[in-house]
Amino acid sequence: MVPNLLTAIMESALVEEIVSKFEGSSPRASIDHPAANVPADLLTSVAQWLRDAKGFDMLMDVTSIDFSEDASPRFTGVYHFANSMKHEYVRIAADCLDDVEPELPSLSKIYPAADWHERENFDLMGIKYQGHPDMRRILMWEAYPYHPLRKEFPLAGIETELPAADVAEATQAKVIAAPMMGGPFHSPQTGAMSKREPRAADESWTEAKPKPKN
């Protein structure tokens, strides 16, 4: 039987210990690794405990989820920790309390690897990390007005002035939106991974062959 991806909870002594030790924590649905939800104000305490008491010496990834403008909480930070001696993994998630100006505490003092991961999340999702030593964009330029991985940001992008005024003046160019031939795009949710790359929903038109008018 295929487990329900939204409700499947992995049995884990580590998650049970997190729930018991940190008030407000709860098991998180997962089919690959043990996972727990923790309150944002306990995130640094949980990370410190995982490193010092449980041997999770590596922060593998920091990512985030935008559940849409209508959701509350809208943004959730997601962290993947690894114990390199025991080859164990755990996923920790923390909701941002503010849906308009989302924030989470920085883990950069506990796991230095969090530094650039958090900058990328700030850049693309707009989550600020309290206590981060250098909270700047890492991919887009500082004056860029959008966060491209938020749900309201269009798939093709938004036409934007180039960041350097002298380059824009000399080239008369803009950062143009991407072509959307064949869009919208989707990834099949079943089958071999080699067959699950994003594909155009409508492949009847391309840049060379215009989309038929209805």
DSSP string, 132-167: -TT---SSS-TT----TTSTTS-TT---EE-S-HHH
pLDDT of 146 above 90: yes
Say what the alpha-carbon torsion angle 193, 194, 200, 202 is, to the nearest 10 degrees: -100
Neighbouring-strand partners of residue 9: none
pLDDT of 122 above 80: yes
**φ, ψ (nearest 5 deg) of residue 61:** -160, 145
Identity of the amino acid at 104? L
Lowest-pLDDT choice from 50-54, 84-88, 113-117, 174-178: 174-178
pLDDT of 22 above 90: yes
How much is the pTM? 0.79
Q: Options 3.30.499.10, 3.30.460.80, 3.30.230.10, 3.40.309.10; which CATH number does 1-139 get? A: 3.30.460.80
Report residue 196's pLDDT band, with 50, 70 and 90 as the boundaries.
Answer: confident
Average pLDDT, stretch 193-205? 70
Report residue 1's pLDDT band, with 50, 70 and 90 as the boundaries.
Answer: very low
User: Which residue would you say has higher pLDDT here, 164 or 14?
Assistant: 14
Using DSSP's 3-state secondary structure scheme, residue 60 falls into strand
**φ, ψ (nearest 5 deg) of residue 174:** -130, 165
Provide the percentage of residues in the chain whose pLDDT is more than 70: 84
8 A C-beta contact, residue 47 and residue 60: no
Q: Tell me, what's the pLDDT at 178?
A: 62
Q: Tell me, what's the pLDDT at 79?
A: 98
pLDDT of 161 above 80: no
Residue 172 gets the label, from left (phi > 0), alpha (psi -120 to 50) or beta, of left
- What residues contact 172, with CB distance under 8 A and at least 6 apart? none
What is the Cα–Cα distance from 142 to 19, expressed in whole angstroms? Answer: 39
Q: Tell me, what's the pLDDT at 10?
A: 73
Identity of the amino acid at 203? E
User: Which residue would you say has higher pLDDT here, 193 or 40?
Assistant: 40
Report residue 162's pLDDT band, with 50, 70 and 90 as the boundaries.
Answer: confident
Q: Tell me, what's the pLDDT at 42?
A: 98
CB atoms within 10 A of CB 143: 9
Q: Where are the domains of the chain?
A: 1-139, 146-176, 179-214
Per the prediction, the chain carries an average pLDDT of 87
* Maximum alpha-carbon separation in the chain: 63
Average pLDDT, stretch 126-146? 93
State the residue for tokens 């250098």. Answer: 134
Q: ∠59-64-28 over CA atoms, to 5°? A: 80
